[in-house]
Amino acid sequence: MAWWKGWDLIESLKSELSGKFEMLMVALVYPPFKYDAKELHDAMKGVGTSEGTIIEILASRTKAQIREIIKAYKEEYDSDLEEDIKSETSGYFEQILVCLLQGERDNATLYVDTALARQDAEALYAAGEKIRGTDEIQFITILCTRSATHLLKVFEEYQKLANKSIEDTIKSETHGSLEDAMLAIVKCTRSVHCYFAERLYYALKGAGTDDGTLIRVIVSRSEVDLNLIKAEFKKIAGQSLSSMILDDTSGDYKTALLNLCGSDD
C-alpha cells in the first residue's frame, strides 16, 4: 500500500472528517498519478465495476501520463493495472481499454497525411456503415493507435465519405460501455476541455449529484486546465460551474469546491 509521506495525513483526514468533504480533502492530498491509480483501483474493487471512471481516465490522459499511472498503480497496490482491467471487463470493451493502455494515440504529429487519413476513414466506413454488423476491432485499432491530429483529419474525411459524423456512426453501430469508450475517445480528440465540461455538467444536472465524478474532474484539472473547462461548461449549461455547485452542494464541501473552481469573472 501507499508509503509516501502524505499517507499519514490521509489517515488523519479520514479519522477527522466524513462524507463528501472527506472524499474531497483526501483527493487533494494524493499526487496526480497516485490519485488516478486510486480512482482506477476503487472503480474495480468490490462487486461491479465503475466503467465510466475507467473510461474517463484512460481516454483523457496522454500516453506519458498513462505510463506514470501504471507505475503508480503497481507501487500502490502491488498489482498490474492491465491484468486487473482484464479480470474486471470482457469482450470488445476489455480490448479497447487494454488498447488505450498500450497505444500510441497521442504521438505528436505536425504533418498529417491526408491520403492516410482518408484510408483510415474508408476503413472505418467499411467496418460499419458499409456492412451488415460491425467490425469492432477496426474501430478500436484506429481510435486507439492514431495521433489526435491524424484522427481529426480522419473524422473530417469520414464525414465527407459517409455524410454523417463518426459519433453518429458509433452510436448506431455500438452500444453500452464500448460505445461510451469510443465516444469518449472521439470527444477527447476533438476537445478534452469540452469532454470534461460535459462530464461535470452531467454530474451536477438533475436530481442528485455524481460527487465522485465532480470531485475527480475538479481535483485532477484544477491546476491544469480548469479555467478552459469552465468556459466550455458555461456554453453547455447556460450558467457557470460555480453557480451549479452552489445549487447542488452544501457546507464545507461546497466551500472547498468553490475555492478550487475560483472566480467565474
The binding site for Ca(2+) consists of: 206, 208, 248
In the structure grid, which three cell numbers stand for residue 147, read together? Answer: 495521433
Taking phi first (over 0 means left), then psi (-120 to 50 degrees means alpha), and beta for anything else, what does residue 163 get?
left
Report which of 185, 189, 186, 213 is spatially closest to residue 201, judged by C-alpha positions.
213
- Residues of each annotated binding site: 206, 208, 248
Q: In whole angstroms, give the CA distance from residue 117 to residue 152.
A: 9
Q: In whole angstroms, give the CA distance from residue 151 to residue 163.
A: 17
Q: In whole angstroms, give the CA distance from residue 42 to residue 177.
A: 18
Residue 118: burial class (beta carbons within 10 Å; 0-12, 13-18, 19+): middle
Residue 78 DSSP code? S
Positive/negative CA dihedral, 135, 149, 36, 247: negative
191 close to 155: Cβ distance less than 8 angstroms: no
Q: In whole angstroms, give the CA distance from residue 221 to residue 260.
A: 10
